[in-house]
Structure 1
Amino acid sequence: MLRQRPHRTARNVLLHPALGWFALAALYFAGCVLNFMLSMSTARVWPLVLSGTLGVIAALCVFAAGRSLRR
């Protein structure tokens, strides 16, 4: 006879180890987009550099989340 699969509860989804990394990546990505928009509206270079740095950090957070999903 077939076993029933366990149901995912909201508590289990919120306690997943990858969720924190994905949330952190979303925050860094939002900062990246906002700094990119700031660099387009001004003639300064530093917001563009900061935007690139935040984009790299967001990509590293997504990479870490992917690693914790495979565990």
Structure 2
Amino acid sequence: MLRHRPHRSARNVLLHPALGWLALAALYLAGCVLNFLLAISTARFWPLVLAVTLGVIACLCGFAAGRSLRR
């Protein structure tokens, strides 16, 4: 006999603990891309350092989201 599989509602998806980490990673990644483009257009060094820092933070947020998904 087939078991009934519960459907995921939008509320359950929005309340998932990994969603916050993924949203934060997306914001940091957008900041990383914008600072990289600023570094290219102005030929300055400090936006590139900031872009690398934001990229590392985005990766850390992604790892935290992955840990939340495995729980």
Q: Give the TM interval when normalised to the shorter protein.
A: over 0.9
Find the residue that maps to 1:6 and give its secondary structure: coil
- TM-fit CA distance, 1:17: 0.4
Aligned residues: 71
Identity of aligned residues (%): 83
Aligned equivalents of 1:66, 1:29: Cα separation in 2: 16
Which residue pairs with 2:5 in the alignment?
5
Q: Deviations over 1:31-53 (max 9, x none)?
A: 00000000000121000000000
Aligned CA RMSD, in angstroms, stands at: 0.5
- TM-fit CA distance, 1:3: 1.6
* Structure-1-length-normalised TM-score: 0.97
Which residue pairs with 2:53 in the alignment?
53
Aligned equivalents of 2:69, 2:47: Cα separation in 1: 33
* Structure-2-length-normalised TM-score: 0.97
Contiguous gaps of at least 5 residues in structure 1 = none
